[in-house]
Amino acid sequence: MNPLRWSYRVSLLAGFAVCAGLVGFALYAQYVLMMDPCPLCILQRVVFIALGVVFLIGGLHAPRGGGRWVYVVLLVLIALIGVGIASRHLWIQSLPLDEVPSCGAPLGYMLETRASHGGVIGVLAKVLTGSGECARVQPILGLSMPWWSLIWFVLLGLWSVRAGMRRTIGIRR
């Protein structure tokens, strides 16, 4: 079965399945491969979960016409947020050792004490500045996790655009 000929519904449900698989692998890497996630890794997981939820809702709803583009735009925006977080993570990993930010408090602790960190926005700003554990590179098949995340965010964003354009470019169901 040619994935380029899948319906809008099947394409979005496939996007959901990919997101679920990626989050599943992240959990496998954490609990079986003992690769502890840094705060930026956790944020990337949250973005994959958000993508998966929108793919699932869009696939189940499967609107016709212009309604499809609501989901496509939302998916692309979420994917772009993921690209930004993964790019920031890669930038931190590229820093020389003497320029790497010091390790900060774990994300769970910062969220528990978010009032003293400026609320959720303050915690998010602190996480995006990066920390020492974010600079650690643990390759999987030759690439670090943020590289894989970046690749998948781009592919999922493009996949959603392709699904939305399907009917527009005249491909038969």
Note the pLDDT of residue 102: 60
CATH number of the CATH domain containing 83 = 1.20.1550.10
The span from the CA of 111 to the CA of 119, in Å, is 8
Is 80 inside any structural domain? yes
Residue 1 included in any domain: no
Q: If you count them, how many residues does the chain have?
A: 173
Per-residue pLDDT, 132: 57
Q: Name the token pair of 75.
A: 């998916």
Residue 68: inside a domain: yes
On whether residue 125 sits in a domain, the answer given is yes
Residue 172 lies in a domain: no
Domain that holds residue 54: 8-165
Mean pLDDT, rounded, for 129-133: 62
Q: Is 89 within 8 Å of 131 (Cβ atoms)?
A: no
Instruction: Name 95's Cβ contacts closer than 8 Å, sequence gap at least 6.
Output: 135
pLDDT in tens, 83-130: 999 998 888 888 776 766 665 666 666 667 667 666 777 767 666 666
Question: What pLDDT does residue 154 have?
Answer: 97
Tokens representing residue 119 in the block = 């609320």
Nearest alpha carbon to residue 136 among 92, 88, 173: 92
In a domain, 99, yes or no: yes
Average pLDDT over residues 1-7: 77
Whether 2 maps to a domain, the answer reads no
Domain contains 56: yes
Query: How much of the chain exceeds pLDDT 90, in percent?
Result: 45
> At residue 22, does pLDDT exceed 90?
yes
How high is the mean pLDDT of the chain?
Answer: 83
Q: Specify the number of domains making up the chain.
A: 1
Higher pLDDT pick, 98 / 33: 33
pLDDT at 171: 46
